[in-house]
Every structure is written in C-alpha cells, then in structure tokens.
C-alpha cells in the first residue's frame, strides 16, 4: 500500500488555468521547484477538454479569464461529476465571487499576490484530498460490485440485517425458516467479504453515501 501511495503521489499533477503568461510561467517554476508535475492552460475550455479525472491532483484557477470564467469552469466540473480540488487565485476577488467559488467546492479563495508557501501548502492539501477521494471511490466501486453479486432475496435479507433485525425476526417477517435466513446471511457475509455484522453495516452505509453521479463511473 505504501508503494501504491507513493506512485499515486508521483503521478499527481497541478493544473493551472490563468490567461496571464507571466503568472503561468511563475507558477510553473514554483510548483516544479518542489518536484510536482504541472500543466498550464490559458483558457478554461482548454483545460476542460484535456482534463482526465483519473489523474490525481488539484486545480489552481483564476476567476477572470477570457471566454469561460473560472466560476463557470467550476460549475462545468461539478456538472460532470469531477471533484478535483480547486484553489481560486485572483487579483480581482470580492466577497460574492468568493462565496460562489466556495459553494462550488473551492478549497479556498486567495487574492493575488499570494505567498509562495501559502499557495504550496494549499496545493499539497488539494493533492492529498484528491488522492484520498480517488482511493475511496475505488473502494466504493469494489463494494458496489460485491453487492451486485447478491441475489434479490439476499439483498432483502441484508437490508433487514443492517437494520438490526435478528435472524428469527427476519424469518418471521419474510415467512421463511430460521435456517433459510441463516443460510442467506452466510452467503451475504461471504459475498460482501464482511467479517462481522458491524462491518457489513459500515459497508452498506459507505455504499449509500456514494454520490449518484459516481455510481456508474
């Protein structure tokens, strides 16, 4: 797992969207100076067309850029179900724009000029958040695939189990024998790879917490 985490960290990329070439060059130098990969874009539309959500990282985004604004880009990302952490950096920031940026999921709203160390700290936080989100998504997908292996009756029994019903109570509710319920429970635990009922409950809650747009990804 340690080796896997190091590989993911090495693949992490900081995406910069800013229409000022001098700022793009400066940010590239700063970010690469700490060993991180960088991709810069002049336009939000360029970033949106080339972005692959499989790549871990974060987005450093100016608000006032030609064409699609930074806030509009945030909205497009949200519409597509992309949850890349966003750091808004702007010299023209005001409270309403900051509120919109934060509501759209930005980690923070920073006004230019920004301290190099402050920006790098937020970038590192963004990368760590994105890596954790991607790892959780992989785990959630695995849990959903396990649940897909359950038969209709097993799913029904599982709902009662995670709700706290005993095997005898489930048997009475479904009008089946106690042994039948116990057999279903054993199959459920095996297919879900759950070592205990509390673990099964935890798995079920985790599956139900997955956003709808991530269920088919």
For 19-32, the pLDDT digits (tens) are: 999 999 999 999 99
| Digit-coded pLDDT (tens) for 85-111 | 999 888 766 667 777 888 878 888 888
What stretches of the chain adopt beta strand conformation (E)?
13-17, 37-41, 57-61, 86-90, 106-111
Pairing of strands 106-111, 37-41: unpaired
In DSSP notation, 63-112 reads SS-SSS-HHHHHHHHHHTT----EEEEESS--HHHHHHHHHTTEEEEEES
Q: Which fold has domain 149-214?
A: Arc Repressor Mutant, subunit A (1.10.10)
Q: Is 38 helix (H, G, I), strand (E, B) or coil?
A: strand
pLDDT of residue 93: 63
At 88, give phi and psi (nearest 5°).
Answer: -85, 125
Nearest in space to 17 (alpha carbons), one of 47, 37, 53, 49:
47
Give the fold, CATH level 3, of 2-135: Rossmann fold (3.40.50)
**What is the band of 9 on the pLDDT scale with cuts at 50, 70, 90?**
low
Q: How high is the pLDDT of residue 105?
A: 81
- For the chain, what are the domain ranges? 2-135, 149-214
* Helix (H) or strand (E) segment spanning residue 207: helix 197-208
Inform me whether the pLDDT recorded for 36 exceeds 70: yes
Q: How confident is the model at residue 211 (pLDDT cuts 50, 70, 90)?
A: low
């Amino acid at each position: 797992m340690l080796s896997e985490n190091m590989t993911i960290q090495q693949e992490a990329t900081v995406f910069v969207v800013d229409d000022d070439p001098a700022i793009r060059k400066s940010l590239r130098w700063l970010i690469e100076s700490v060993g991180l990969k960088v991709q810069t874009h002049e336009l939000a539309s360029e970033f949106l067309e080339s972005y692959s959500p499989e790549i871990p990282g974060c987005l450093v985004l100016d608000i006032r850029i030609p064409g699609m604004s930074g806030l509009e880009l945030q909205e497009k990302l949200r519409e597509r179900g992309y949850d890349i952490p966003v750091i808004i950096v702007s010299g023209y920031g005001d409270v309403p724009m900051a509120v919109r940026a934060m509501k759209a999921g930005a980690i923070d709203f920073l006004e230019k000029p920004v301290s190099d160390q402050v920006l790098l700290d937020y970038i590192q936080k963004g990368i760590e958040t994105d890596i954790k989100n991607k790892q959780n998504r992989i785990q959630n997908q695995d849990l959903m695939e396990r649940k897909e292996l359950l038969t209709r009756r097993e799913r029904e029994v599982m709902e009662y189990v995670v709700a706290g019903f005993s095997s005898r109570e489930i048997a009475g509710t479904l009008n089946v024998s106690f042994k039948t319920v116990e057999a279903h429970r054993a199959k459920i635990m095996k297919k879900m790879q759950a070592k205990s009922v509390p673990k099964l409950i935890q798995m079920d809650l985790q599956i139900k917490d997955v956003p709808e747009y991530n269920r088919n990804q």
